Amino acid sequence: MQTNEICWSCKGPLNEGFFCPTCGTLRRPFALSPFKFFALPFAFNLNLNTLEERYLDLQKQFHPDKFVTKTSQEQMNALSWGGFLNDSYNKLKKPVERACLLLAEQGIHDVLEEKPTPDMMMKQFELREQLEESEQLDDLLIEVQDDIANLESGLVESFDSSNFEKAKKQTLELQFLSKFTRDIKRKMRQLKTN
């Protein structure tokens, strides 16, 4: 976090806060990890209630209504922070994106562009065939949801033990299974309406 910068309004020194400690104006957005933004530890395990609470709290701080009497620069800053807030919240909430953020913190980018291993491909192909051929999808859905739960607890472990290679693989698998779950549910709806 940049602490050696000066306030755009009063030119006073800045600390780690969003507001200038001297004149109290809202700072311009600066590069910030969503985890730090939400004052969360760099871990995959996340208490959704805490996330929700912090989201509402931050939303209040940057709410446009609080800046109606302020300069247009400060109003713009509030809008930018609000955008960054929503974006960060949506990413942290979703397990796959949360994992990608944590990997990016380690300098591992574009995880979802990686090629799956042959074993993963084989399993994905078999799952796709099952979905295509079967009309009784309840069991398949339960199986996939179990796999997702296992992957998520596996990710907690991998990140806690700094095993980022394993976390990468698990993230890829989770990405596939999340999409696959939507496809199962779509077919279930179609079967119901026919």
SS3 (DSSP) at 19: strand
| Burial grade of 173 (CB within 10 A; 0-12, 13-18, 19 or more) | buried
Residue 100 is a binding residue for other proteins (CB under 8 A): no
Report the alpha-carbon distance of residue 138 to residue 184 in Å, rounded.
9
Report the alpha-carbon distance of residue 37 to residue 186 in Å, rounded.
36
Left, alpha or beta for 29 (phi > 0: left; psi -120 to 50: alpha)? beta
Residue 116 is a binding residue for other proteins (CB under 8 A): yes
Residue 109 is a binding residue for other proteins (CB under 8 A): no
Residue 120 is a binding residue for other proteins (CB under 8 A): yes
Smaller CB separation from other proteins, 75 or 178: 178
Least Cβ distance, residue 183 to other proteins (angstroms): 8
Q: What are residue 19's DSSP bridge partners?
A: 26
Name the one range near other proteins by CB under 8 A: 17-25, 36-44, 118-126, 140-148.
118-126
Smaller CB separation from other proteins, 179 or 189: 179
Residue 112 is a binding residue for other proteins (CB under 8 A): yes
Q: Which of 16, 52, 57, 114 binds other proteins (CB under 8 A)?
A: 114
Give the residue from 62, 6, 3, 59 showing the smallest Cα distance to 31.
3
Q: Which of 31, 47, 132, 165 binds other proteins (CB under 8 A)?
A: 132
Residue 167's alpha-carbon distances to 17, 25, 91, 95, in angstroms, are 32, 41, 17, 12
Residue 115 is a binding residue for other proteins (CB under 8 A): yes
26, 78 in Cβ contact below 8 A? yes
Q: Which of 31, 49, 72, 118 binds other proteins (CB under 8 A)?
A: 118
Report the alpha-carbon distance of residue 102 to residue 171 in Å, rounded.
11
Per-residue binding letters, 140-179, with other proteins (x by CB under 8 A): --------------------------------x--xx--x
Residues that bind other proteins (CB under 8 A): 112-116, 118, 120-122, 124-125, 128, 132, 172, 175-176, 179-180, 183
